[in-house]
Amino acid sequence: MQSRFRSDRRLTVRMTVTMFLLGLLYVAFVAALIVLLKSWLLVVVLVAAMFVAQFWFSDRIAMFAMRGRVVEREEYPELHAVVDRLCAIADMPKPVVAVSEMDMPNAFATGRNPDHAVVCVTTGLLRRLEPAELEGVLAHELSHVAHKDVAVITIASFLGVIAGLIVRFAFYSQLFGGGRRDQNTAAVFAIVMGVSAAVYAISFLLIRALSRYRELAADRAAALLTGRPSALASALTKVSGDIARIPTKDLRTAQAFNAFYFTPATGKEPGIERYFSTHPSLEQRLDQLGRISAELGEATTPGKG
């Protein structure tokens, strides 16, 4: 079923290109695994099992890591009411609603499709935001579900996880079995390490480029759905400022899931590292919302088209 979130062709194209390029990497990577493990059957079983675990259980993995729990309407009636209203406006299935007992103000969406999705907010976010700001953040997260980019990021992240694991496996295999290796085996090992490192690096860059664009797309879709880009801008400013005041040691656990968050748990605006960031800068996001606000204002001004 097509939701009423504004479709984004540029996002769709970027997701398609990213998945195609990662697919090519996937083929090269599987070949490297076969060379390393010398058993195509073992490779197929191992990769398939990990893919199923990552794809089908990504929501549970994220919820567990972030200490989130499903909450019923009786416990958080206002939160459920906002999600209900947005889902009715967007004409999309209501996701599972969850809350994480964390002071870090943030939110994330996960799940393999709109019928199996979870939207989770932290208690720190609920405590800090006004109703209109919370609506903007939840609309942002629901747009990720509607555009299916949550599933794409989950699948894309899978390659990076596997590549990182194989590099570690190869390293320890060489470390503890180096005495039994001949010159040819050492050469194969070097090739496998090189391919794995290249797969990890390229997938890392592709995922982050897609992630930065999808955040802008979600901001845009949320602003247009709610008609209040200023409320979303206010939430962004407030959340980013409050995260900057949270001790770095308290953010480290959360940083592994930055690609899924409303705003990254970095505590500061990136400098040169913005090119490797999962999110665009706060300035970019506010500039876009300012332009949308101006456009909506022109559209509703009497006497204008």
* Percentage of the residues of the chain whose pLDDT score is greater than 90: 35
Average pLDDT score over the chain: 80
- The candidate with the shortest Cα–Cα distance to 194, out of 170, 210, 213, is 170
What are φ and ψ of residue 69, in 5° steps?
-140, 145
Please determine, for residue 8, whether its predicted confidence score (pLDDT) is greater than 70.
yes
List the single range of 12-16, 134-138, 286-290 with lowest mean pLDDT: 12-16
- Is residue 71 scored above 80 in pLDDT? yes
Residue 141 bears catalytic tag: yes
Q: Which of 141, 273, 283, 298 is catalytic?
A: 141
Burial class (CB in 10 A: 0-12, 13-18, 19+), 126: middle
Residue 144 counted as an annotated binding residue: yes
- Of the listed ranges 57-71, 207-221, 247-261, the one predicted with least confidence: 247-261
Most confident of 70-74, 114-118, 197-201: 70-74
| pLDDT band, residue 301 (cuts 50/70/90) | very low
Judge whether residue 218 has pLDDT over 80: yes
pLDDT for 143 equals 94
Which 8-state DSSP code applies to residue 278?
Answer: S
Residue 97, beta-bridge partner list = 119
Identify the CA nearest to 36 among candidates 199, 209, 214. 199
- Of 82, 105, 106, residue with least CA distance to 94: 82
Is the confidence at residue 167, as pLDDT, over 70?
no
Question: In which band, very low, low, confident or very high, does the pLDDT at 222 lie, cut at 50, 70 and 90?
Answer: very high
Q: Which residue has the higher pLDDT, 219 or 188?
A: 219
pTM above 0.75, yes or no: yes
3-class DSSP state of 148: coil
pLDDT digits (tens, 9 = 90+) for 14-54: 888 888 887 777 777 777 767 766 767 777 777 777 777 76
Q: What is the pLDDT of residue 163?
A: 62
Band of pLDDT at residue 86, cut at 50, 70 and 90: very high
**Segment of 132-136, 160-164, 179-183 carrying the highest mean pLDDT:** 132-136
Q: What is the reported pLDDT for 233?
A: 96
| Residue 205 confidence (pLDDT) | 85
CB 121 within 8 A of CB 138: yes
Instruction: Please tell me the predicted confidence (pLDDT) of residue 304.
Output: 41
With pLDDT > 70 as the criterion, what percentage of the chain qualifies?
Answer: 72
